[in-house]
Amino acid sequence: MRLPGAQFSSCQKRRYIVHIDLDAFFASVEVLLNPSLKGKPLVVGGLPHERGVAATCSYEARKYGVHSGMPLRECYKLCPEAIFVRGNYHLYQSFSEKFFQILHDYTPDVEEASLDEAYLEFTRCGQLYSSFTEVAKDIKCRVEREVGLSVSVGAASNKILAKLATRRAKPGGFFELQPGEEEEFLRELDISAIPGIGPKAQVMLRLLNVHKIADLWRLPLATLRSLFGVMGDELYLLSRGIDYRPLQTRGKSESFSRETTFLQDVWDRDLLLAHLAYLSDRLALTLRQEKFYAQVIEVKARYSDFKTVSKRRFLSMPVQEMNRIYRVAEELFLELWDKSRLTLRLVGVKGSRLVEERHLSLFEFYQEKDERLSQALDRVRERYGFTAVLTGREKMLGEVYEEDKGRGFILKTASLTR
């Protein structure tokens, strides 16, 4: 079967997108800092008999069927000889920052898709470089040399194809998809390769005998719409390698969130609020660093049986101060928290509907002091570390978590979303 729709991708101005993703990120950092781990199965995220799941694992561990998101106990069953480490999020974050710093040297159009993954667009850089392919290879070498980690790079004419090219290049390779090769490239790939086709969708599609991307081409748009609603249109296009999505560059972030899974399930109200306060504080810091105000604050909670609930509020005045975020977060949390249910395993706070400025209304004029307080707080923390100034509520976490040299508490799983 020919790839339907391919003809209209060719009428577009050809873009050049590079997707770049660090290999087994957390595990590679651990190996870099402790070379005796090299070549061994390694699981990052906790010790074998702890609760929780693997954040990631080395490629050697993957041979045993271990993968990220798998409960630690199951990892241990599959690969008892693996080395287990808890990991250190602040450390990985500093590697991530170094990684992005390099990428921003090459083009202003960088989408930081996750902690270790980015898209770069060179379409606007035509005058700057004689060969985009050489630039892509150069970025790969520089990341390997300066960050010290193995990285995979894919290049193509849009985001989906570039991401799939990286998948082909893993681990440690470079793959550039040439125009005209899309159909052959996509045909044999498993449907799970398409972002947006999650586990549930896969089950549904496999029941219809759709396993490979080429099988998806047989389904009419109307069928996809009835199965996936509005997402059906996107899947129709993505499966054909057609993708007009622009890069979400920094200024265009849609939300920031901070969440954590607890070391042990928590029921104690004060301890829950202490976590919420700390996460609000970290969220506020990110918002100020990125120079955004959030107009919507959302709180999320997950019970020990994984039931997840959330509640959001639209604010008349956008916020970026810890005490304002926390005030809303606490209210929302107490509204959604059902004490009669099980203990909680996770809480999170999110700020969305980001805006770059706000106008203090007359009534709220006096609240300008909150803003000055935040600025003073930032200055003190810049010099003495994040934990140098904490609210009474947050201090309670000092009894539960270790500190990372003043930079913050070492939570079990820090949020990966920006």
Active-site residue list: 117
Q: In whole angstroms, what is the distance from residue 381 CA to residue 365 CA?
A: 26
E strands, 58-150, in order: 83-85, 110-114, 117-121
Residue 297 · residue 327 · CB < 8 Å: no
- 349 φ, ψ (degrees, to nearest 5): -130, 135
Residue placing its CB nearer to ligand DCP in the complex, 289 or 417: 417
Min dist. Cβ of residue 69 to ligand DCP (A): 4
Q: Is 106 in the site for ligand DCP (CB under 6 A)?
A: no
Q: Is 30 in the site for Ca ion (CB under 5 A)?
A: no
Q: Which ranges of 210-294 does DSSP label H, i.e. alpha helix?
A: 213-216, 221-228, 231-238, 269-289
Q: Is 112 in the site for Ca ion (CB under 5 A)?
A: no
Cα end-to-end span (Å), the chain: 41
DSSP bridge partners of 118:
20, 112
- 283 φ, ψ (degrees, to nearest 5): -65, -45
Q: In whole angstroms, what is the distance from residue 186 CA to residue 191 CA?
A: 10
Near Ca ion by CB under 5 A: residue from 116, 121, 176, 298: 116
177: closest CA among 163, 191, 193?
Answer: 163
Measured over all CA atoms, what is the biggest interatomic distance in the chain, rounded to whole angstroms?
68
Tokens linked to 170:
């893993």
Q: Which does 416 bind (CB under 5 to 8 A by kind): Ca ion, ligand DCP, none?
A: ligand DCP
Min dist. Cβ of residue 55 to ligand DCP (A): 3
Residue span binding Ca ion (CB under 5 A) among the ranges 47-55, 114-122, 197-205, 332-340: 114-122
Q: Is 21 in the site for Ca ion (CB under 5 A)?
A: yes
Q: Which does 285 bind (CB under 5 to 8 A by kind): Ca ion, ligand DCP, none?
A: none
Q: Which of residues 295-354 bind ligand DCP (CB under 6 A)?
A: none
Residue 297 · residue 315 · CB < 8 Å: yes
Q: Which does 20 bind (CB under 5 to 8 A by kind): ligand DCP, Ca ion, none?
A: none
Min dist. Cβ of residue 26 to ligand DCP (A): 4
Please tell me the count of residues contacting Ca ion according to CB under 5 A.
Answer: 4
CA distances (Å), origin 74, targets 41, 53, 71, 80, 263: 14, 9, 5, 10, 18
Give the total residue count for the chain. 418
Near ligand DCP by CB under 6 A: residue from 30, 112, 117, 243: 117
User: Strand 110-114 relative to strand 117-121: parallel, antiparallel, unpaired?
Assistant: antiparallel
Q: Is 112 in the site for ligand DCP (CB under 6 A)?
A: no
Residue span binding ligand DCP (CB under 6 A) among the ranges 114-122, 220-228, 250-258, 284-292: 114-122
260: closest CA among 392, 388, 397, 72?
Answer: 397
Near ligand DCP by CB under 6 A: residue from 35, 69, 180, 229: 69
Residue span binding Ca ion (CB under 5 A) among the ranges 22-30, 69-77, 190-198, 261-269: 22-30
Stretch 383-402: interaction string toward ligand DCP, x if CB under 6 A: --------------------
Q: Which does 69 bind (CB under 5 to 8 A by kind): ligand DCP, Ca ion, none?
A: ligand DCP
Q: Which of residues 13-52 bind ligand DCP (CB under 6 A)?
A: 21-26
The residues that touch ligand DCP, with contacts defined as CB under 6 A, are: 21-26, 55-56, 68-69, 115-117, 170-171, 416
